[in-house]
Chain A
């Protein structure tokens, strides 16, 4: 079975500071990994994905994530946070091949203070 853990329910950061939202996963074989963002009363918006290749993945709005196979982690990062980054962030995993069913984490609320 595959699973995703987002160990922090909430992350607080000051505007202009770097931010990290943590994600660890468990899956059989190689993973496909994703980050989505959800603003209030909205659907999820795709930020970035890791399929294969470089471990550092760059995505939308200045976000990036680093795939670490040995630590089974895929943490989301941004060098300088904006107040407008405040939202709910979801990490998701899917196994390569086989079932196409993705598993989402419970989400991390990011709050960026002015």
Chain B
């Protein structure tokens, strides 16, 4: 088990609602990335936060937004939910990706979001 935790485990929302997902990174890690994994697909990169700043963004609309806090925990917010937003949302933490050296990401168990 990694030290990355996510909450809630499961969530059911209706179309048009807003949702906030939370991630607690592994101790000592300062970078958090969020991924969307649709059924039968690989994880798709949403964005990454390094020391509270967005440090890279995948091909997702602005209604996907995030925050990273001083303790390096993070939130993913999705507004105006659509049916296609139903997926497993994964958080991954790592140490100082932008240093130029690569450290592997440690993934949390994910939050399963269902949009009805």
- Which positions in A face B, CB cutoff 8 Å? 4, 32, 34, 36, 41-46, 49, 51, 90, 92, 94, 97, 99-107
Residues of B within 8 A of A94 (CB): 102
B106 with A46: CB separation less than 8 A: yes
How far is B76's CA from A18's CA once the two chains are assembled, in angstroms?
A: 41
Residues of B within 8 A of A107 (CB): 40-42
A43 with B90: CB separation less than 8 A: yes
Asked, given contacts A43-B2, A46-B104, whether A100 binds B109 with beta carbons under 8 Å apart, the answer is no
Q: Which 6 A-B pairs have the closest CB atoms?
A: A104-B42, A43-B107, A44-B107, A46-B104, A43-B109, A104-B43
18 contacts between A and B (CB under 8 A): A41-B109, A42-B109, A42-B110, A43-B109, A44-B43, A45-B2, A46-B106, A49-B102, A99-B56, A100-B98, A101-B56, A102-B45, A103-B45, A104-B35, A104-B44, A106-B42, A107-B41, A107-B42
Determine if B65 is an interface residue (Cβ-Cβ < 8 Å).
no
How far is B56's CA from A99's CA once the two chains are assembled, in angstroms?
A: 7
Determine if B4 is an interface residue (Cβ-Cβ < 8 Å).
yes
Chain B interface category by residue count: 20 to 34
Besides A46-B107, A92-B42, 18 new A-B residue pairs in contact (Cβ under 8 A), listed by A number? A4-B42, A41-B109, A42-B109, A43-B2, A43-B6, A43-B107, A43-B109, A43-B110, A44-B43, A45-B2, A45-B107, A46-B105, A51-B102, A100-B98, A101-B48, A104-B35, A105-B42, A107-B41
Contact with B58, one of A36, A46, A90, A101 (Cβ below 8 angstroms):
A101
